[in-house]
Amino acid sequence: MKIEQLYTGCLAEAAYYIESEGEAIIIDPLRDIQPYIQKLERNHVKLKFILETHFHADFVSGHIDLAEATGAIIVYGPKAATTFKSHIAHDREKLTVGKLTIEVLHTPGHTPESSCYLLYDETGNKHAIFTGDTLFIGDVGRPDLAIKSDLTKEDLAGMLYDSLETKIKTLPDSILIYPAHGAGSACGKNMSKDTFDTLGNQKLTNYALKAKDKATFIKEVLKDLQPAPSYFSVNALMNKEGYKNTAEVIKQGSIALDADAFEKMQLQTHALLLDTRDPVTFKEGFIPGSINIGLDGQFAPWAGVLITDNTQPILLITEPDKEKEAIIRLARVGVDNVIGYLKSGYTTWEVAGKPEDRIESITPKEFLSKTGDTLAIIDARRASEYESGHVDGAINLPLDYINDWTNSLDKNKTYYVHCAGGYRSVITESILKSRNIHNVIDVAGGYGAIQKELQESKNIN
């Protein structure tokens, strides 16, 4: 028996590869299926089943493309309905792969069709359970992501309590919990950085499993629940109803354009200019009107949140040879409209003598020296981060909701912008500049660097 957790940090997502006697199953695969195909070929095994725990909202699964490429059967639990070929299992149905058995446990609550997969080893012992978004390490799945459902979040939270009580907590304490997500995912609110644990330990440490009754559970699970990102509903429908072949999405976007062709294409299509370079590099020079979402950060989730028009074409500016990675990672969150990229990266634009823009940046020391003035300071972090500590006078305008607050800004004012470390502030500034709000200054290093500078100043004094 072989179990591999295939973790993708950008999405805080875990897919699983399980193998026995020349057969394999993959649980909750990502949309870019080539790594799975390569693994199967390398191990000389046949993929028998693709198990989906539910209609994922935070990413587009690779189930359809993977099934077409391998002939494997897509499996969902009860209450699922798809427009593509799939097997809708009944509760407690058992599947076999090699010498292993997988039992389908219908665990509605996160969504009506949510199911877990209980793995029995070669000797018939309960070894692990793959819980999807039903149970995380330190948390449970949010109950407000059902597709076109008449059920309220309170209804689903109550169903989730029943699922945990009757299907999960009754299992042996020694069983391993393998969830679909870890810390950083918006599918829960209190997830641990750990990506697996025993059920026994979760009973001791997970607030949701310690709730004394259903009413308490519902109250705790819904407490401080933030609105779901707007792209979640789009992704869930794509997972349920199907999507464009990913190889075609990659081919469509892999068109190299010189500076003149790139400029002409943008004018003809009104494409969004997406620059995926490091934010520090981006600040030093970029194409006017382009927005920056750095490929080395939480690129895909931020792209999903901020690119709200799924019909608008996208042109990429990346580091050389990074365009395919950017296209794939955008596709993971259902952003499929890349139509080309700037050949050889931003240098091509510079050499051609095309117009450039930049973002002014100051050090935390320079910023703090100005605090005697009346400054307009934007803290682009989330509300919970701001509440845990912030610069005096700073206004909390989270990047997540930039479309809601942009129009409240005064174009004649100068805004000093920071986040936690510098990634989100540059995204914020690039979007503001693309919307004709140009008087923005970046505080390099963000709140962390500001706090460090304050501490060093105290030590010197």
Q: What DSSP string describes 56-108?
A: -SSS-BSHHHHHHHH-PEEEE-TT---SS--EEPPTT-EEEETTEEEEEEE-T
Query: Looking at the predicted structure, is the pLDDT value of residue 327 above 70?
Result: yes
C-beta of residue 253 within 8 angstroms of C-beta of residue 338: yes
For residue 43, what pLDDT is reported? 96
Class of domain 245-351: alpha beta
Mean pLDDT of the chain: 95
Please give the DSSP secondary-structure letter assigned to residue 225.
P
Q: How confident is the model at residue 152 (pLDDT cuts 50, 70, 90)?
A: very high
C-alpha span between 56 and 21 (Å, rounded)? 30
Query: Looking at the predicted structure, is the pLDDT value of residue 87 above 80?
Result: yes
Question: What number is the average pLDDT over the span 353-368?
Answer: 96
Domain map (residue ranges) of the chain: 2-235, 245-351, 360-460
Q: How confident is the model at residue 390 (pLDDT cuts 50, 70, 90)?
A: very high
Superfamily per CATH, domain 360-460 = Rhodanese-like domain (3.40.250.10)
Query: Looking at the predicted structure, is the pLDDT value of residue 457 above 80?
Result: no
Query: Looking at the predicted structure, is the pLDDT value of residue 373 above 70?
Result: no
The position carrying tokens 């609110």 is 189
- Same fold across 245-351 and 360-460: yes
C-alpha span between 154 and 48 (Å, rounded)? 37
For residue 241, what pLDDT is reported? 95
Q: How confident is the model at residue 147 (pLDDT cuts 50, 70, 90)?
A: confident
* Backbone phi and psi for residue 441, each to the nearest 5 degrees, phi listed first: -125, 130
Query: Looking at the predicted structure, is the pLDDT value of residue 461 above 60?
Result: no
For residue 187, what pLDDT is reported? 86
For residues 147 and 399, the model is more confident at 399
C-beta of residue 91 within 8 angstroms of C-beta of residue 80: no
Scanning 275-363, the segments in alpha helix (DSSP H) are: 279-284, 299-306, 323-331, 346-351
Which among 175, 166, 96, 179 is positioned nearest to 128, based on CA atoms?
Answer: 175
Min mean pLDDT across 183-187, 298-302, 450-454 is at 183-187
C-alpha span between 38 and 15 (Å, rounded)? 15
C-beta of residue 215 within 8 angstroms of C-beta of residue 42: no
Query: Looking at the predicted structure, is the pLDDT value of residue 94 above 60?
Result: yes
C-alpha span between 145 and 137 (Å, rounded)? 19
Query: Looking at the predicted structure, is the pLDDT value of residue 334 above 80?
Result: yes
For residue 230, what pLDDT is reported? 86
> What DSSP letter does each residue of 93-161 carry, written as one string?
-EEEETTEEEEEEE-TTSSTT-EEEEEE-TTS-EEEEEEETTB-SS-B--S---SS-S--HHHHHHHHH
C-alpha span between 274 and 289 (Å, rounded)? 9
For residues 77 and 184, the model is more confident at 77
Class of domain 2-235: alpha beta
C-alpha span between 65 and 246 (Å, rounded)? 7
Which among 293, 288, 291, 264 is positioned nearest to 276, based on CA atoms?
Answer: 293
Query: Looking at the predicted structure, is the pLDDT value of residue 47 above 60?
Result: yes
Please name the residues in contact with 434: beta carbons below 8 A apart, sequence gap of 6 or more. 289, 290, 291
Q: What is the pTM of this model?
A: 0.93
Q: How confident is the model at residue 52 (pLDDT cuts 50, 70, 90)?
A: very high
C-alpha span between 365 and 362 (Å, rounded)? 8
Please give the DSSP secondary-structure letter assigned to residue 202.
H
Which among 337, 336, 334 is positioned nearest to 57, based on CA atoms?
Answer: 334
